[in-house]
Structure formats: structure tokens, C-alpha cells
Structure 1
Amino acid sequence: MTYVVTEACIKCKYTDCVDVCPVDCFREGPNFLVIDPDECIDCTLCEPECPVGAIFRDDDLPEGQEEFQEINARLARVWPPIIQKKPAPSDADAWAEVKDKRGLLEE
């Protein structure tokens, strides 16, 4: 079992989740975070920390978000670890409620 970062994180990239992760399983891309499924220990700490509700257990992914399990696994192999909280992008709040952001993911 692992946790998965979903579409809501795109262009928001709040990093509150990174601070609570005991195993440093988050990876950072240009406008999105992912969780490395090989590192995640299913501790549940990150899920409630996400201000946009973008993190789910892999077996509880909302309908339409299933592809993010593969996206997290694939990008975790190439993106660098992020081990401490950073400021969110200046326009993160404006993107927080936007839906259908999949096409904006910068890989």
C-alpha cells in the first residue's frame, strides 16, 4: 500500500506534506510533487497535511485519478527528492480550486 499525489497538486505544489514524511518519499517536479511508492511506508501522515486534498491511498483514489498511481511511480524514478518544506508558488491559491489540470503537468 502506498499514497498517491493526484491532479489537485498540479500548479499548487504546497509542500506541507514533505515536512511530516518520516522516510523522505516525496519527489519534486516543476509544478507537481509525487510520492515514491518504493519508499512510502503508508504512515498516513501526509494525507491530512495537504491543503488541497491531493493525497490518497492507492486503493482509495477518486474516480478519474487512477492514472496518477502510474504517474507517481514513473516520475519518482527521475525527479529529485524534496526533504523540507518550501514556499508554495505565488499563484498556488488561485490554482487550488481549478479542476481538470492534468494537461498542465510539467514532466
Structure 2
Amino acid sequence: MTGLRRFVPVQAAHKAVLWGVFVDPAHRRGGVGRRLLDAAIGHARSARVLQIQLCVNTENPRAQALYRSVGFEVFGVEPRALCVGGRFYDEAHMVLRLDAGDGAVVSVG
């Protein structure tokens, strides 16, 4: 399961956020996560999204490696982003640029 939500304000309409990436434990390590990412990225491209952002728990190296394998890069870390059972977790903020990255003005929408 995963979700992709485009930012609403026109100034941020070139971006989308990827959230809720989850693969049932019985189906992990079989390429399901990669197929989910590929589908979400394909959908974003068809919608003319230029940048996808996500957050991932810094204590989840498998997820981080998966995101890096499709081109996501860390652009910051939010300390104590989550609190579960009284324990704090940091989150890495990652981005995937789908455009050429040349800084050109692009019409979206």
C-alpha cells in the first residue's frame, strides 16, 4: 500500500508527497516495495509532478536503501519527528527530482 498526494497551492503544485509505503511482512524482500515505488513514480510523471518528497524513519535502513535505489536523496533529518511508546525517532526527509534539474521554468498542471 502507498499514497501519493500533490501539493495544493499553485506555487507548490510541482511537488507531491509519497506516504504510507507499507508491504505486509509475509511479502517483504520480494520486490513488492520496488513495484509500489515504480507505480507511484510513474503516476507522478504522468501527472507532470516534478519532485516527490517523503520521510523515512532513520532506523529503517532497508527502506532508506530502497528509496536511494530509485534515486531519492536525503535533504535533511528531523530530530524527534515521531514518538512511539514514549521513544523518539528521527526522520530523514528525502526527495526525488523527476525533471532535468536545469532550473528552467516549467508549466505544471
What TM-score does the superposition give when structure 1 sets the normalisation length? 0.26
- Structure with the greater alpha carbon radius of gyration: 2
Higher share in strand: 2
